Amino acid sequence: MINKKSIGVFDSGYGGLTVFESIAKSLPDYNYIYFGDNARAPYGDHSFETIYQYTLSCVEWLFAQGCPLVILACNTASAKALRTIQQKVLPVKYPGFRVLGVIRPTAEVIGRYTESNTIGVMGTRGTVNSDSYPIEIHHQFPSLNVVQQSCPMWVPLIENNEHGSEGADYFVKKYIDELLAKSGDIDAILLACTHYPLLVPKIRAYLPDGVRLVVQGDIVAESLVDYLNRHTEIESVLTKEGEMSFYTTGDSQVFDQSASIFFSREVVSEQVRVV
């Protein structure tokens, strides 16, 4: 595997598969390694330092498998670990490697989706508390008003395959109502967690008319296509055999069963350990 150069896609669990699916559709020729840190998921309620250490250990594992480019397909990891890895780790230890996240590509285009100049951002506690989205969005759109809402019950519901149940409706409506109560001007809502696309049917049912829903997968995929076009030094070394490999720190059988909820093809994974 190390002789082949793959694009690494990392998430704390399953949610990154929704982004990976969009990437693989846009760039089907490349080799990919998907790595879920399921044994330590969810990341959303962990401390900044813990998330950073977990993310770094998994990124370094992907580097060791021959991935010169790693996508953090996880909003919490992107919010709490990406900048430190890019600024303090890569230049010193891995100067030829690149790590990208999902926040900046989304922030670069989010202004297209609002006419009222006010958007809602729904994410995990970790993502919301980091203020990464307001900071990044204001770099791109200084006048845009960003209203955030943490949704701590959404990921557990999805990871336990309860997102289609009637019980999930209570928490979907609860967090949407709390967000919209903060501002009557919100006309677009960004789902700032890669798990949340599985709740889209229920979310739409509780959204007022005229409020747009923004999902990240296609945005991140489009950004990656552009990145590879601009960075031929990375693109030229990537292996193009259309192969996909899946790894998890959790139970591989459980991962394979649950992955089918997020990914529209059969997944066969291997369990690995990281320190």
Catalytic residue among 58, 67, 151, 193: 193
Sign (positive/negative) of CA torsion 169, 171, 175, 178? Answer: positive
Closest CA to 259 of 246, 272, 240: 246
Q: Catalytic site residue 151?
A: no
Please choose, from the candidates 99, 91, 79, 94, the residue with its C-alpha nearest in 3D space to the C-alpha of residue 10: 99
Least Cα distance to 23 among 61, 55, 65, 71 occurs for 71
Q: Is 193 a catalytic residue?
A: yes
Element (H, E) at 72: strand 69-72
Annotated binding site: 11-12, 43-44, 75-76, 194-195
Assess contact for 82 and 106: CB atoms under 8 A: no
Binding site for substrate, by residue number, is 11-12, 43-44, 75-76, 194-195
Beta bridge partners of 259: none
Determine which one of 58, 67, 74, 151 is catalytic.
74
Which amino acid would we find at residue 4? K
Please tell me the distance from the alpha carbon of residue 251 to that of residue 164, in angstroms, as a whole number: 23
**Would you please indicate which residues are annotated as catalytic (active-site) residues?**
74, 193
